[in-house]
Amino acid sequence: LSKNPLRNTTPGPEAAAVPSAGGAVVPPTLVSVSVEGVFSKSVGLLLVQGLKNTNVTEGESVTLECQISGQPTPVIMWFREDYKIESSIDFQISYESGFARLVIREAFAEDSGRFTCTATNEAGTISTSCYLLVQAEWRSPPDTGTVKSSLFV
């Protein structure tokens, strides 16, 4: 007689861990929930593709994007340096077809920093982060004409 505790379990939904953009393996979250004892539904949350570090020039538009699969549909929140970003005309937040996006209409140097996208549903919370570097536009110095120098010996 085997004492294996897994021997008499009913197989449930399975999920595989996937590598993130940085090479680390991100484990999926998948659980089974019984609703009023009548049927069972699967709920899950999986980071399919994480955010990527991004460099842009000041004044440009920038889109930060990650792919998150969740059942039920997760609530998406964005943060910059741990401060929550509210959707506005300058910072547009969307979650469509599994893609969470933050569009910064016009990036400025002070927008540089760590951005985090967090997804939450019944299965839990997952997050992914990246760094945004907004570089000032390089301008050549103004032409002041030719400089002449005299050397007296």
- Say how far residue 35 (Cα) sits from the centre of its chain: 31
For the chain, domain boundaries: 51-135
Whether the pLDDT of residue 124 is over 80: the answer is yes
Q: Which of 56, 37, 35, 140 is nearest to 103 (CA)?
A: 56
Whether the pLDDT of residue 15 is over 50: the answer is no
What would the mean pLDDT of 35-51 be, rounded to a whole number? 73
* pLDDT given at position 141: 62
User: Which band of pLDDT confidence, cut at 50, 70 and 90, is reported for residue 92?
Assistant: very high
Who has greater pLDDT, 92 or 7? Answer: 92
What does the pLDDT look like over 50-84, one tens digit per residue?
999 999 999 999 999 999 999 999 999 999 998 99
Domain 51-135: CATH architecture, name and number where available: Sandwich (2.60)
Amino acid at 85: I
Gap between the Cα atoms of 99 and 90, Å rounded: 19
Residues 6+ apart with CB under 8 A from 53: 130, 131, 132, 133
